[in-house]
């Protein structure tokens, strides 16, 4: 066999081996798109964690710093509602006592459940989780009957549940300018309470009626529950600031009344978890 022929055979074998290795690699190696998609999801999860952390800190501030709050409504010593105005936005704080310390876990579960509101809010229709980053960090969508007219309302929000201690849990809900694929032009939402939320803009799934603009969009600037178990009761501090997406000439008093009505629904938890034989008296 001459040398020229041997060189040709070796060259052909080399090419064949390369083609086989390339085929094997293309079959078993991850392609670029899934890697990029996984990277994108990792970045989005980090952004969600950061946004939720800032929202929790802001909620703590408004729950602990009482400067600026004015008494709005007092049913009794166990349910008191206050309001203040921050950045041209209404913020409400409800102090609530439920004289049943054994209800702590059930209260946390109900407030965390995306459909838990059906137990105390007559306007609530349903809720569902549209994206989950971690078991206690997710995006949920809540749907309500409209207070005015027949158009239903909804909001998208990042929801976070944090165990602050053995006997205290925080639930924080915050909206951002999420892309829920609403058809047509849609004005950008800017959160006036949690500034860090304005850089969190995930894509989320939504129902056809939302995509077709058949529902009215509102926003949870900041909604929080601090639930604490004490010797004779469960104390809840509820913070709420809602962008009701009303007309520009709507008065602050009207917006405050709309938010107050929704917040006072939480007071119904006292009847739901009523203890017929309270052991100790608790005061706010």
282 vs 98, residue with greater confidence: 98
pTM: 0.83
- Average pLDDT rounded to a whole number, residues 219-244: 98
**What is the pLDDT confidence band of residue 145, given thresholds at 50, 70 and 90?**
very high
Q: What percent of the chain has pLDDT over 70?
A: 78
Q: List residues bridging with 228 in a β-sheet.
A: 168, 235
Asked if residue 2 has pLDDT above 60, the reply is: no
Q: Which helix (H) or strand (E) holds 224?
A: strand 219-229
Cβ within 8 Å of residue 68, ≥6 positions away? 84, 85, 86
Do 96 and 269 touch, CB atoms closer than 8 A?
yes
Do 53 and 172 touch, CB atoms closer than 8 A?
no
pLDDT of residue 182: 73
Other CB atoms closer than 10 Å to residue 152's CB: what's the count?
Answer: 16
pLDDT of residue 148: 66
pLDDT of residue 274: 85
Query: Taking the chain, what is the end-to-end CA distance rounded to the nearest angstrom?
Result: 101
Asked if residue 97 has pLDDT above 80, the reply is: yes
Burial class (CB in 10 A: 0-12, 13-18, 19+), 92: buried
**33-272 CATH, one of 3.40.50.300, 3.30.70.360, 3.30.530.20, 3.20.20.70:** 3.30.530.20
Asked if residue 275 has pLDDT above 60, the reply is: yes
Domain boundaries, the chain: 33-272
Do 97 and 79 touch, CB atoms closer than 8 A?
yes
> How far is 18 from 11, CA to CA, in rounded Å?
11
The model's pLDDT over 157-188, given as tens digits with 9 standing for 90+, comes to: 999 999 999 999 999 999 999 988 775 556 78
Residues in the chain: 284
- Average pLDDT rounded to a whole number, residues 196-210: 85
Average of per-residue pLDDT values in the chain: 85
Q: Is 110 helix (H, G, I), strand (E, B) or coil?
A: helix
Cα dihedral across residues 181, 218, 173, 50: positive or negative = positive
**What is the pLDDT confidence band of residue 216, given thresholds at 50, 70 and 90?**
confident
Asked if residue 141 has pLDDT above 80, the reply is: yes
């Amino acid at each position: 066999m001459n040398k020229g022929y041997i060189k040709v055979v070796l060259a052909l074998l080399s090419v064949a081996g390369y083609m086989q290795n390339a085929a094997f690699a293309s079959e078993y190696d991850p392609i670029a798109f899934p890697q990029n998609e996984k990277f994108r999801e990792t970045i989005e999860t980090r952004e969600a964690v950061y946004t939720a952390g800032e929202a929790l800190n802001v909620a703590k501030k408004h729950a602990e710093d009482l400067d600026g709050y004015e008494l709005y409504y007092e049913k009794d010593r166990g349910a008191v509602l206050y309001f203040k105005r921050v950045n041209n936005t209404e913020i409400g704080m409800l102090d609530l006592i439920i004289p049943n310390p054994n209800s702590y876990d059930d209260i946390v579960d109900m407030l965390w459940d995306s459909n838990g509101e059906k137990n105390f809010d007559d306007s609530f229709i349903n809720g569902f989780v549209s994206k989950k980053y971690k078991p206690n960090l997710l995006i949920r969508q809540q749907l309500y009957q409209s207070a005015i007219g027949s158009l239903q309302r909804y909001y998208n929000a990042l929801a976070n549940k944090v165990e602050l201690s053995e006997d205290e849990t925080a639930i924080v809900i915050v909206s951002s300018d999420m892309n829920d694929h609403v058809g047509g032009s849609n004005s950008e939402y800017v959160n006036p309470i949690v500034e860090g939320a304005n850089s969190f803009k995930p894509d989320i799934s939504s129902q056809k009626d939302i995509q077709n603009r058949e529902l009215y969009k509102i926003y949870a600037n900041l909604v929080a529950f601090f639930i604490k178990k004490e010797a004779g009761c469960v104390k809840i501090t509820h913070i709420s600031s809602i962008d009701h997406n009303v007309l520009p000439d709507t008065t602050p008093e009207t917006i405050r009344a709309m938010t107050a009505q929704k917040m006072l629904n939480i007071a119904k938890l006292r009847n739901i978890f009523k203890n017929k034989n309270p052991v100790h008296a608790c005061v706010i």
